[in-house]
Structure 1
Amino acid sequence: MFSVLVCDDSLVARKQVAKCLPQDWDVAVHFAKNGQDALSALAEGKGDLLLLDLNMPVLDGYGTLEAIQQRGLKTKVIVVSGDIQPEAHERVTSLGALDFIRKPVEPAKLVEVLDKYNILHVEEKAQEEVTPLDPDIRDCYQEITNIAMGQAGDHLARTMDVFVELPIPNVNLIEVSELHMMLSDIESHEQVTAVCQGFLGPGVSGEALCILSDSSFDDVAKILNVEGEVDDQLQLELLMDAASILIGTCLTGLANQMDINFSQGHPIVLGQHRAITEIISMNQIKWKRTLAIELSYGLEGYNVQCDLILLFTEESMKMMNSKLAHLLEDF
C-alpha cells in the first residue's frame, strides 16, 4: 500500500495536514516529529510521499532533504511550511523537493499539488506492466553504446585536439526520482548548465541531456583558444557546440547499429548555473519512468567533465529490445 509520512514537530500541524489528505485515498499515514525520525521511518519503507516541515528541532527540513539525497532514499517530497520566503522555496527545490505548500494547508491546494505530480494515481501506475531489462539485453545496450560513444569521443577529440577519456556506459531502467543517483560524478554543490534535445524514430522517442559543470567552462574556452571573458552567452555557445557533437554522433551510432533513423529536435536550455537536482526536479513530470544511458566524458589534462544522458521512453523499449534481440541471435 502507498504510504504518506507527515513530518512536523507540532502535533496540531501533523493532524491538520493528515486531515487535508483526500478522504477516499487508500493510503497508510505515518508521522514523524523531526527530520531524524523521518529518516528512520523512510529507511523502514514508511513514506512513498513525505510531507515535510522546514523549521524543526534535532534535524530541520533542509538537513532532511540533504540526507535523503545523500542516502539515495526513494521518496517524493512536498514541503509544507510557514516560511514563505522566495529563497526558502528555491532552496528546497534545489534539494530535490517536488513543490512547496504554504501553511496552513488547504485541502484543495494539497489535492491540486498531488494531482499535478500524478501522485494520487501512483498505485495504478505501479500495477502497470513494465518492460523488464534482461541481463543479456542490458549487455547489448552497453555494447552498442560503447561503439556509439567511441565514435562521439573520436569526433570530439579531433575537433578539440584533445584526448577524450571514455567512460563505461551506465544503463538502467529507472524512475526519474532515481536519476540524480546516476550523476555520481557531479558533486551536490557543483552548479551546472544543461541542454536537452529530443529525438524521434520509428517506434522510438526520447531526449538527450547534456550537462557541463560550470567549473569546466574556463578550460573548454582555453582548449578552443577563446579569448576574453567567458560570459553566460559564450558558455551556452560552448555547451551547444559540445552537445551537438556528442548527441548527434552518439544517436547516429546507435541508429546505425539498430537499423533505424533518428530525427532530432532543436536543443533547449534546461537551466544555467543550477544544481543538478533542481534541473531534474523541474523536468520530472516530463521524463517519468525511463531507460537511461549515462556517459560521463572527461578530457585528459583538463578540468572538464561532461555528462551525456540518453533518456528513452519505456514504450520505446519494446521496439529497441526487439532490435537488440535480433543482434543477440547473430552472435
Structure 2
Amino acid sequence: MSIPVLICDDSALARKQMARTLPKEWDVEITFANNGAEGIDAIRAGKGEVVFLDLNMPVMDGYEVLKTIQQEDLPALVIVVSGDIQIKAHERVKAMGALDFIQKPVSADAISNILQEYGILTIALGESDSDNPMIEVDLRDACQEIANVAMGRAADLLAKLLDVFVLLPIPNVNVLEVSELTMALKATEESQTVSALCQGFIGAGVAGEALLLFHDSSFQDMAQLMGLTNPEDANTEIEVMIDTGNVLIGAFLNGISEQLHMKFSQSHPVVLGRHCTVNELIHDNSEKWARTLAMEINYRIEGHDIQCDLLLLFTEESLPTLNFKLGYLLD
C-alpha cells in the first residue's frame, strides 16, 4: 500500500526538486501544498503520513504548521526542508516535533539517508509505477527559489557573526521596468528614511548591482551588536553599512553562484545615499538600470530594532544567461 507523502512548499521549483529526489523504489502517493494552510488540510485528510515541510511560506508558515500538528496531535512525520540553515532554526523545529532538518537545495542522498535512519523507507519498499505529476516552473518562480536558498546562506553567516536569530521573509522577485521598481519594493511600504550601499557584480553573461538599504532606525542597535563605539557617529554608520554589506551581499552572491555553477566578481562598495527615502534613492540612480530582474530580501533581527533590505538588480542583458543556467532546473 502506498504511503501518503505531502510536499508543502510555496515554490513550484522546490516541489518539483523534492519530488524528483524521493527514492524511486519508495511506494508513495504524493500530494502537493502551496502553503501551510493547504498542508494542514491535506494532513487532516490523511494525505500526509510523511511531510516534507518548508519554513518560509505565505498564509501559514512551517513553524505554524508544526504548532498546529502538535496542538491537534495530527499523525504526521515531519521533515523540514528549508533554505534557512541557522542553527536556531534547526533547534526550534526539532523542539516543535520535526523529525529532522534538510537544507535546500535537496539531494537524493540526504533524503534517502534520513528516511532509512528513521525506518520510514524500509517499511514501504515496493514497486512504484506512479509517475510524479508534472509541475510547471517559470523563470520568476525559479529565481525566487534560488534567492530563497541564497538568503538562508547570508542569514546564517550574519546570525553566527552577531549571535542572533535572523527573521527571514519570502523573497520578492520581479522582472520589471525601473519605473516600476519603487512600486514593487516592499521597503517602500514604510515611509522611514534609509541609507544605502551599492556594490556591482559580474559573471559570465550576468551582471548587476546589489543595494543594501539600511533603515536609519537600525544603526544604533547594529553598531552595538558589532561592538562599535559611538554608534551615532557618521563614520560608524558607514562602517556598519560596509560590514553588513560584506556579509549579506557576499554570502548571497556565493549562494547564487553555487546553485548556478558560476562565479561572480564584486566591485568595491560605494555609499549611494544617506538618510533619504527609497523613492529618492531609486529616482536618483535610475539611469543605471533599464529593464531588470529584481530580487528583494527584507532581513530583520529578532529582539532588535534592526531592518535592512538587500536588493539585487540584474541587467536586462543577463536574462538570457539566467534562463539558460536555470534550464536544468526548469526541465
Which TM-score bucket, shorter chain as reference? 0.5 to 0.7
* Cross-structure match for 1:249: 251
> Structure 1: how far apart are the matches of 2:318 and 2:173?
15
Q: How does 1:20-35 map to 2 (within 5 A)?
A: none
> Structure 1: how far apart are the matches of 2:230 and 2:237?
12
> Which deviates the most, 153-162 or 179-188?
179-188
* Cross-structure match for 2:196: 194
* Cross-structure match for 2:213: 211
| TM-score, normalising length: structure 1 | 0.57
> Structure 2: how far apart are the matches of 1:246 and 1:149?
8
* Cross-structure match for 1:236: 238
Matched, 1:222 2:224: yes
Are 2:249 and 2:310, in contact at CA under 8 Å, matched by a contact in 1?
yes
Give the Å deviation of 1:190: 1.1
Partner secondary structure for residue 323 of structure 1: helix
Between the two proteins, what is the percent identity of the paired residues? 51
* Cross-structure match for 2:275: 273
Aligned AA (1:177): S
> Structure 2: how far apart are the matches of 1:144 and 1:161?
25
* Cross-structure match for 1:137: 139
Are 1:193 and 1:211, in contact at CA under 8 Å, matched by a contact in 2?
yes
Give the Å deviation of 1:217: 0.5
Specify which of 301, 312, 315 is matched with residue 313 of structure 1. Answer: 315
* Cross-structure match for 1:285: 287
CA deviation profile, 1:154-173 (whole Å, cap 9, x unmatched)? 00000111100111111101
Are 2:224 and 2:231, in contact at CA under 8 Å, matched by a contact in 1?
no
Specify which of 150, 153, 156 is matched with residue 152 of structure 2. Answer: 150
CA 302–250 in structure 1, closer or farther in 2 if over 3 Å, else same: same
Partner secondary structure for residue 315 of structure 1: helix
* Cross-structure match for 1:298: 300
Aligned AA (2:329): L
Are 1:292 and 1:311, in contact at CA under 8 Å, matched by a contact in 2?
yes
Give the Å deviation of 1:174: 1.0
Name segments (4+ residues, structure 1) moved above 3 Å: 185-189
Aligned AA (1:308): L
Aligned AA (1:221): A
CA 135–177 in structure 1, closer or farther in 2 if over 3 Å, else same: farther
Are 2:294 and 2:311, in contact at CA under 8 Å, matched by a contact in 1?
yes
Are 1:148 and 1:254, in contact at CA under 8 Å, matched by a contact in 2?
yes
Give the Å deviation of 1:182: 2.8
Give the Å deviation of 1:219: 0.9
Are 1:186 and 1:213, in contact at CA under 8 Å, matched by a contact in 2?
no
Give the Å deviation of 1:187: 4.9
Are 1:142 and 1:169, in contact at CA under 8 Å, matched by a contact in 2?
yes
> Structure 1: how far apart are the matches of 2:185 and 2:174?
12
Unaligned runs of 5+ in 2: 1-135
What is the total number of aligned residue pairs between the two structures?
Answer: 196
Partner secondary structure for residue 154 of structure 2: helix
Give the Å deviation of 1:184: 2.6
CA deviation profile, 1:296-330 (whole Å, cap 9, x unmatched)? 0000011111000110011101011111111223x
Specify which of 163, 166, 169 is matched with residue 167 of structure 1. Answer: 169
Are 1:293 and 1:310, in contact at CA under 8 Å, matched by a contact in 2?
yes
CA deviation profile, 1:172-195 (whole Å, cap 9, x unmatched)? 011112211233344553111101
Report the aligned-residue RMSD. 1.5
> Structure 1: how far apart are the matches of 2:317 and 2:140?
16
Aligned AA (1:140): A
Unaligned runs of 5+ in 1: 1-133
Partner secondary structure for residue 227 of structure 1: coil
* Cross-structure match for 1:100: none
Q: How does 1:71-150 map to 2 (within 5 A)?
A: 136-150=138-152
Are 1:193 and 1:272, in contact at CA under 8 Å, matched by a contact in 2?
yes
